[in-house]
A = this chain, B = another copy of it.
Amino acid sequence: MNDPARHHSPITMSDVLDAQRRLRAHVPTSPAMSYPLLDALVGYDVRVWVKHENHLPVNTFKVRNGTSALTALLERDPVAARRGVAAATTGNHGLGLAWAGARLGIPVTICVPQGNNPDKNSSIVSYGARLIERGSIYDEAIAACDEIVEREGLTRIHSTNNADVLAGAGTMTAEFLEQAPTLDAIVIALGGGSQCVGAVAVRDAMKPTLAVYAVQSNGARAQHDAWRDGVARHGQPVRTFAEGVATGATYDLTFAALRRGVNDFALVSDDDIAQAVRDLLRITHNVAEGAGAAGLAGLRALAPQLAGQTVGIVLCGGNLDAARLSVILAGGTPT
């Protein structure tokens, strides 16, 4: 098929619609809310919509990604699905897979480095997933994952380099545009890029005028730099408390699509992100993790150029632990 989007995007709208069909029985619609006090905070006559992905099961949009990947596997290869899946992750991707696996009866193995966030570990285990703690850094957890995938014949579900994961992430934007059809722009925290790539695919089909903005912390700006100069990155520094956007690399499946489809990119500081956590708590009474607050931090940076527009931000995750929340409420920025 001569679909121009295919040349630059790993997914199209039909993939997103198919994911939406598979998710329907499992993942509820997340609310889109507006708050007059948030509009006042942002200023520049911007009307803000907040997409509350933190209200989904396991408090993160990653439940879309995990459920999309596992339901697709179940339809495509039920024997492999019953054998089980594995992933290396330090957080929300593991939670999304564990939740979806419990619901679909698919065994899930999650490999994490030793010393990983104990709250996330215990939550992953609480959904019946097998947790393997190995090595002191993420790369060793990846090696452990590779080993167990090989030995047990499992299916690896990468957090980004997986078209079903990207299509699942795209369901967020499709849903958001149905709830708030007047959106002129959407501001999205960028880690691996699944949400932005999903947004671009949906935008191209549903509302070509929608601007897609990405946000990263300036302590972990690999994808930003690559988006600017077109040169893929690996092993770049990641100094941010927002682990959901702590990515030191570009990813094969998302890089070209991001480069083509993202309209602009905001870099914010971790102080800005912490301030956004405080503002979201005070105004919306929601807990945002760092990446979950990055949308607001990015919007505040972009607001002058978005004056008068209707803009969606994505509160993409709420899994902030109490210790870091305490630091932030005291006016500080976690390290």
- 5 closest residue pairs by CB, A with B: A36-B126, A285-B318, A326-B329, A59-B285, A37-B126
Nearest CB on B from A289, distance (A):
8
With an 8 A cutoff between CB atoms, is A287 at the interface?
A: yes
A59-B284, A285-B318 given. 15 additional CB < 8 A pairs?
A28-B31, A31-B55, A36-B127, A37-B126, A54-B285, A59-B285, A119-B282, A278-B322, A281-B287, A281-B322, A282-B322, A285-B287, A286-B318, A326-B326, A326-B330
Q: Are B126's CB and A40's CB within 8 A? A: yes
Tell me whether chain A's interface is mostly helix, strand or loop, or mixed. helix
With an 8 A cutoff between CB atoms, is A136 at the interface?
A: no
With an 8 A cutoff between CB atoms, is A325 at the interface?
A: yes
Q: Which A residues between 252 and 294 are near B, CB-CB below 8 angstroms? A: 278, 281-287
With an 8 A cutoff between CB atoms, is A319 at the interface?
A: yes
Nearest CB on B from A47, distance (A):
14
A117 to B36, CA, bound (A): 18
- Contact count band on A: 20 to 34
A282: B residues at CB distance < 8 A? 119, 321-322
Closest B residue by C-beta to A123: B37
With an 8 A cutoff between CB atoms, is A62 at the interface?
A: no
A residues contacting B by CB (< 8 A) are 28, 31, 33, 35-37, 40, 52, 54-55, 57, 59, 119, 122-123, 126-127, 278, 281-287, 318-322, 325-326, 329-330
Closest B residue by C-beta to A36: B126
A326: B residues at CB distance < 8 A? 326, 329-330
